[in-house]
């Protein structure tokens, strides 16, 4: 679990110069799960070094030029768990298409076909032996001040994604599914755009 000294809280944007290269793990917290109704409250980021940066947003217009530049930077890989939702929320809230991306949930579905447990909590437990709490998941992320428990929970959602990615990439390679995974990750921004445009439930690949 994250400890408080490894969590840095920022308001409105990232400081300039962070995450200039390599890969960054990203998660978002919102008021709820509706892309039409619920606003973005928090974006969590980590370079995989045990340190989490949290960017808190108040209601209203979000500018965040540093964060937007990072999301669109083609030379920084963005790692998500169930990126489909985060990409749509970031697209709607910041007006930016996030790529390139890696999604640990898609990777898990493509290589861990022996399991139907692909949630972040299950994945972190099964692959890394680490227990993360989901207790604060349904808390008020729009609050003016986030509690210490909320900040640590939010940090935990990004601190292990690099390690999970490494484990999953090895499994994808072993099973010959890297190319298929890459194609799915490349499609993810379009999948998020379909969600925002009204094709959230419909499977456009289905025959009927
Ligand atoms: Mn989260």
What residues flank ion ligand 1 with Cβ within 5 A? 27, 157
* The total number of structural domains that make up the chain: 1
Does 113 map to a domain? yes
Does 208 map to a domain? no
- Considering all CA atoms of the chain, what is the largest pairwise distance in Å, rounded to the nearest integer? 53
Give the angle subtended at the CA of 24 by the CAs of 23 and 28, to the nearest 5°: 150
Q: How far is the CA of 174 from the centre of ligand 1 (A)?
A: 29
Q: How far is the CA of 157 from the centre of ligand 1 (A)?
A: 5
List Cβ neighbours of 3 (8 Å cut-off, separation of 6 or more).
152
List Cβ neighbours of 197 (8 Å cut-off, separation of 6 or more).
none
Does 41 map to a domain? yes
pTM: 0.96
Cβ atoms of residues 50 and 43 within 8 Å: no
Does 202 map to a domain? no
Domain coverage including residue 168: 4-197
Q: How far is the CA of 21 from the centre of ligand 1 (A)?
A: 23
7-39 pLDDT, tens digit per residue, is 999 999 999 999 988 999 999 999 999 999 999
Does 206 map to a domain? no
Q: How far is the CA of 95 from the centre of ligand 1 (A)?
A: 21
- Does residue 82 sit in helix, strand or coil? coil
For residue 5, the model assigns a pLDDT of 77
Does 148 map to a domain? yes
Does 184 map to a domain? yes
- Tokens 């108040």 sit on residue: 58
Does 136 map to a domain? yes
Domain of 106, CATH number, reads 3.30.420.10
Separation of CA 54 from chain center: 12
- Region 37-49: what's the mean pLDDT? 97
Q: How far is the CA of 27 from the centre of ligand 1 (A)?
A: 6
Q: How far is the CA of 137 from the centre of ligand 1 (A)?
A: 7
Q: How far is the CA of 38 from the centre of ligand 1 (A)?
A: 15
């Amino acid at each position: 679990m994250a400890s408080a000294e490894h969590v840095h809280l920022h308001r409105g944007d990232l400081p300039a110069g962070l995450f200039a290269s390599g890969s960054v793990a990203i998660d978002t917290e919102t008021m709820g799960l509706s892309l039409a109704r619920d606003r973005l409250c928090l974006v969590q980021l980590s370079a995989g070094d045990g340190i989490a940066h949290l960017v808190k947003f108040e209601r209203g217009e979000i500018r965040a030029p540093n964060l937007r530049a990072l999301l669109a930077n083609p030379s920084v890989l963005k790692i998500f768990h169930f990126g489909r939702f985060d990409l749509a929320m970031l697209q709607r809230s910041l007006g930016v298409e996030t790529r390139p991306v890696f999604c640990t949930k898609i990777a898990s579905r493509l290589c861990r076909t022996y399991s139907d447990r692909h949630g972040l909590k299950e994945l972190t437990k099964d692959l890394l032996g680490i227990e993360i709490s989901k207790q604060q998941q349904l808390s008020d992320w729009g609050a003016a001040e986030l509690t210490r428990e909320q900040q640590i929970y939010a940090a935990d959602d990004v601190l292990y994604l690099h390690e999970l990615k490494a484990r999953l990439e090895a499994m994808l390679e072993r099973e010959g599914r890297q190319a298929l995974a890459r194609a799915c990750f490349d499609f993810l921004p379009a999948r998020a755009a379909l969600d925002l445009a009204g094709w959230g439930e419909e499977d456009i690949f289905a025959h009927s």
